[in-house]
Amino acid sequence: MLTSRDLSLIATFTGVIAALGLIPAIAPFGGSVPITAQSMGVMLAGAILGSKRGALSALLLLALLAIGLPLLSGGRGGLGVFAAPSAGYIFGFPVAAFLVGLLTERIGRPYRLGLGIMANVLGGVIALNAIGIVGMALVLRVSLVKATTLAAVFMPGDVVKAVLTAFIAVGVHAAYPGLIPARRQQPTPAERVSA
């Protein structure tokens, strides 16, 4: 059951993802999929809110896009964005936020920079790009190898975003330590026997 606090956090991070779309996109070498800062917002949602709330914030963004709000970089919105070459990345937003959040929850409190970077890279770079590459291949009708080659230009920037996200998450979790659950302590030998 979502509390009013959960709902406000979800809405806030939907706004963060949308606001990062205001940073102008770069289309390297005239590519059909622009480099944007919005994937960093997706990683932030997962790294700060956890799996469920992070994914819901990205799903809310998709719903707002579907009704026509121009929340993607370049002021794009509407149903047409779900058929564009970047559609795989857009559909991957909730999955990436969920995976980053799930890995962050597994790490538990306190949030640790190195493990946070790993969680962001696995969920927000590798998983998101895998979904995006499949989407690009389908829409552009090219092979997965060709789509991967087209997407390769994004990878260094995505890793930088993953690192920045972890640094931001360290500060946020230090200020608000209850956003993710505490790491589970291993039971003692006596507790294992009594269980």
For the stretch 65-115, pLDDT in tens is: 999 999 998 889 999 999 999 999 999 999 999 999 999 999 888 999 999
* pLDDT for the residue 191: 52
* pLDDT for the residue 7: 96
For the stretch 118-167, pLDDT in tens is: 999 999 999 999 999 999 999 999 999 999 998 888 888 899 999 999 99
* pLDDT for the residue 186: 45
* pLDDT for the residue 33: 57
For the stretch 22-64, pLDDT in tens is: 887 666 555 555 677 899 999 999 999 999 999 999 999 999 9
- Cβ proximity of 111 and 46 under 8 Å: no
How far apart CA 98 and CA 26 sit, in angstroms, is 26
How far apart CA 101 and CA 111 sit, in angstroms, is 12
* pLDDT for the residue 100: 98
How far apart CA 11 and CA 60 sit, in angstroms, is 8
* pLDDT for the residue 189: 56
- Cβ proximity of 21 and 37 under 8 Å: yes
What sign does the CA torsion over 92, 94, 97, 102 have?
Answer: negative
The angle that helices 87-107 and 38-49 make with each other, rounded to 10 degrees, is 30
pTM metric for this prediction: 0.88
Instruction: Please give the domain boundaries of the chain with CATH numbers for all domains.
Output: 36-177 (1.10.1760.20)
